[in-house]
Amino acid sequence: MATINPKEELISHLPALRSFALSLTRNRATADDMVQDTVVKAWTHIEKFQTGTNMRAWLFTILRNTYYSSRRKLNREVADVDGAFSGGLSVKPDHDGRMQMAEFRKAFEQLPDEQREALILVGASGFSYDEASQMTGAAVGTVKSRANRARIRLAELLHLDADSPLEMTDSATMAVITGRAS
């Protein structure tokens, strides 16, 4: 007695799977989606099927579990047909970050070379003042002064007061400072 290839047998159970899905969902489109999900899961995990056991029962179990998983997911979702809930949510537009970056780059380019270098080393690269001093050959106090003057000048150029820091990540700031921002 020749054994049937499980992938070929799977196809023969599609009409029964669709009927079962229709009885669960009472919607043709949803039932078709459920059958498709079931077939994909079964096909993906066909090696887990034990040859000689009931393929239809295995497929129905997958379909049933898929159905109840989707029902649980629906219970966690909020119905917002008229958009009242989503209308109350707000997301900051993407372009604000690009505009801030462009303004920052323009202001940063107006700083003297020594101040830009100090900010790159101490502010963006994370080196200590001592390390920056050794790299540049300038005294520690000079590096501190340059970095401080650069920060003050950037705040002036960007029209920021003491309570309005730049809202950029370290990596974004580093990209702007080094000229690698897109």
Q: Name the least confident of 104-108, 142-146, 154-158, 175-179.
A: 175-179
pTM of the model: 0.44
Region(s) of the chain under CATH 1.10.10: 96-178
What is the fold of 96-178?
A: Arc Repressor Mutant, subunit A (1.10.10)
Matching CATH number, 6-76, of 3.30.360.10, 2.40.30.10, 1.10.1740.10, 3.40.640.10: 1.10.1740.10
What is the distance of C-alpha 155 from the center of its chain? 31
Residue with tokens 């079931």: 38
Q: Give the DSSP letter of residue 167.
A: -
| Residues 6+ away with beta carbon under 8 Å from 108 | 116, 119, 154, 176, 177
Q: Is 22 helix (H, G, I), strand (E, B) or coil?
A: helix
Residue 162 reports pLDDT greater than 60 = no
Percentage, residues of the chain above pLDDT 90 = 31
pLDDT (tens digit per residue) in 6-23? 778 888 999 999 999 998
For the chain, how far is it from start to end, CA to CA, in angstroms? 67
Region(s) of the chain under CATH 1.10.1740.10: 6-76
Mean pLDDT across 156-182: 55
For the record, the structure tokens of 45 come out as 């995990």
Contact assessment for residue 108 and residue 181, using Cβ atoms and an 8 Å cutoff: no
Mean pLDDT across 90-95: 62
